[in-house]
Amino acid sequence: MLAIGTLAKRTGTKVQTIRYYEQIGLMPEPGRTDGGQRRYGDAELDRLAFIRHARQLGFSLEAIRELLDLSDMPDRSCAQVDAIAQKQLREVEARLVRLEALRIELQRMIGACNADRVADCRILEVLRDHEECLADHAATG
């Protein structure tokens, strides 16, 4: 049986985060010592490791909740699991496109500035006037 701090270390999670997951029903209420301290077993360790790994891959807590629910139904088709992962991939790709456009625009701004007085700074000029931009971030974001 693991104390919450040990569980935290083993999974690379903060203690408060574990309690937060419990509060929102993502982690189950664990057993307690007579004194009221939480004690965890291997099932909880696995579950938390799953959650943390999914978080590292960018899944939202809501998506993770669905994935955990689904993984309790081993005989079902995994189509729904795959759909969740596909959706996540599409979101990541969309963010990549947007970030890449941002990168280009920032690079252009910075490249245009000849590091003179604020009054003539090209960076500030671009920020003041979107007409100077190539990308259409107004629509994208």
Return the SS3 of 57: coil
The listed partner (a second copy, Zn ion, DNA, none) that binds 54, CB under 5 to 8 Å by sort, is a second copy
39, containing H or E segment: strand 38-39
Site string for Zn ion, 68-97 (x = CB under 5 A): ----------x--xx---------------
> Nearest distance from residue 65's CB to DNA, in Å?
9
Q: What tokens appear for 117 in the block?
A: 């007085």
Which of residues 34, 35, 119, 134 is near a second copy by CB under 8 A?
119
Size of the chain, expressed as the number of residues it contains: 141
Task: Closer to a second copy by CB, 20 or 50: give it.
Answer: 50
Return the SS3 of 9: helix
Among the listed ranges 2-10, 18-26, 28-36, 118-126, the one in contact with a second copy (CB under 8 A) is 118-126
> Nearest distance from residue 19's CB to DNA, in Å?
6
31, containing H or E segment: strand 31-32
List interacting residues with DNA (CB under 7 A): 3-6, 8, 14-17, 19-20, 32-38, 55, 60-62
> Nearest distance from residue 34's CB to DNA, in Å?
5
Cβ neighbours, 10 Å, residue 14: 11
Nearest to 4 by CA among 50, 36, 52: 36
134 forms part of the interface with a second copy (CB under 8 A): no
- Report d(CA 136, CA 130) in Å as an integer: 9
